[in-house]
Structure 1
Amino acid sequence: MISLASPDVLYPLVRESISGALDFMIRRAIVETAIEFCRGSRLVQDTVGPVSVAAGDSVLLVPADQPYQGRQLIRVFGEQMQPGTDGPQLQAGVDYQQLSGNELRVNRAYAEFNAIFVIEPRQTAITIPQILIDDYPLALACGTVARMAEMPGKAWSNPQLAAEMKPYFVDGYRAAFRWRIENTAFNTFQNPVVKQEFF
């Protein structure tokens, strides 16, 4: 289960640069920025499984009643014969089909099916992952300020401020991405074996 928190604690950081915006506008901008941060960094991950699935079954990564959703698969693996052991990593298009960011369909039966995936807040969320507030509050605040300063025709519109804040946000989610890669037991990239015939 992912720890969630209210984005309200970031209001003071955002209000240092943006004045005149209503609280609900700031909250909406923080949630949208958190979605972008989660997509760019792959920081917040969750798992599903082990579950037993039959060929043709759909697997929902996150139930619809949660304030977040699955976004991108990191690793999918399954064991057909011996429950309790990690099976081989499965291939998209061969072993399963990804129907959406939050749903996939398996093409074969598995005694134990597991998936590791990136999550992000839903568009309707009123909470964001706690780790963003704990570890990356300044990056999130800078991204929110940049997003709001880019809004045309508002009292707080300021393209120059948006251009100044955006790099801090990008640096934040890049740092989070590096941290996630360094602290993950497996590499998401697997170089396939090249089979060649020599004369």
Structure 2
Amino acid sequence: MTQLSTLIPLVRERCGGVLEKFALDHLKRAYQKFCAESLYLARSQQFNQGEAARLTIDDDHAFGGVSFVLDANGHELERGLDYNVSVSGEVFITKNTSAFKVFYYITPLFSLPDDFDANDTLISKYADYLADGAASTLMKMPNTQWTEINFSEHYRRNFIDGYRLAYREAINALDEKRPTKPREFY
């Protein structure tokens, strides 16, 4: 796992003179927003009938939501009809099936520790976008040597483009595992 502090030099390229503590705090915020908007931290877990279907959540993370659930035959179950999900990440199956697989995502907690281990793949692919997100909020800080409102908007747009790219990647990866529903024509 990679620590967010490794991205501080990228933030300093964008915001000259920023203090390390400020850079790390804004990187943590950018990472949280990036993960929440992109649904990049997707997971899957399989359960057997009768097992308590409590989803595994990583340390310093919270349950984000369920994307879809497949039964033992690989058919997609309908939320509210075949299964329900609690706020804490427990899945309750109402359909009779020998096993089921849950595809879900997690998000980082609001208050992350300074030595937080971030997702390696996300950091290696989207480091510049995360630095842009941190820079966009840092540049809005009043009365600092790095305050620059115009550049802030530029970095904010780059950050949004980054989590949109990551969202598309995450959805495409999920769609490869999701069965296609047959269309009914009348």
TM-score of the two chains, using structure 1 as the length reference: 0.74
State how far apart, in whole Å, the 2-side matches of 1:24 and 1:58 are.
Answer: 42
Runs of 4 or more above 6 Å deviation: none
In structure 2, what is the Cα distance between the partners aligned to 1:189 and 1:31?
37
Q: How does 1:57-96 map to 2 (within 5 A)?
A: 59-63=53-57, 66-79=59-72, 86-96=73-83
Q: Structure 1, residues 143-164: CA drift from partner, whole Å, max 9, x if none?
A: 111122234x452443222101
Alignment-mate amino acid for residue 48 of structure 2: S
Counterpart contact for 1:31–1:128, Cα < 8 Å: no
Q: Which residues of structure 2 form unaligned runs of 5+?
A: none
**Residue 128 (1) aligns with residue 125 (2):** no
1:175 maps to which residue? Answer: 165
Q: Distance in 2 between matches of 1:105 and 1:30?
A: 36
Shift of 1:189: 8.5
Q: How has the CA–CA distance of structure 1 residues 112 and 62 changed in structure 2, closer, same or farther, with 3 Å as cutoff?
A: same
Q: CA offsets, 1:76-104, max 9 Å, x none? A: 1123xxxxxx4421111112222227343
Once the two structures are superposed, what CA deviation does each residue of 1:41-78 show, in whole Å capped at 9, x if it has no partner? 223311111x1243xx7633224x62333313222112
Deviation at 1:34, TM superposition (A): 1.4
CA distance in 1 between counterparts of 2:85 and 2:126 reads 30
| Partner of residue 133 from structure 2, selected from 143, 157, 165 | 143
**Sequence identity, in percent?**
22
Partners of 1:119 and 1:58 in 2: how far apart? 19
Equivalent in 5, 9, 13 of residue 8 of structure 1 = 5
Q: Partners of 2:147 and 2:68 in 1: how far apart?
A: 41
Shift of 1:127: 2.3
| Residue range with higher mean Cα deviation, 178-187 or 26-35 | 178-187
In structure 1, C-alpha distance between the alignment counterparts of 2:35 and 2:152, rounded to whole Å: 20
**5+ residue gaps in structure 1?**
80-85
1:142·1:168 contact (CA, 8 Å) conserved in 2?
yes
Aligned residues: 181
SS of the counterpart of 1:16?
A: helix
Separation in structure 2 between the aligned mates of residue 169 and residue 136 of structure 1, nearest angstrom: 9
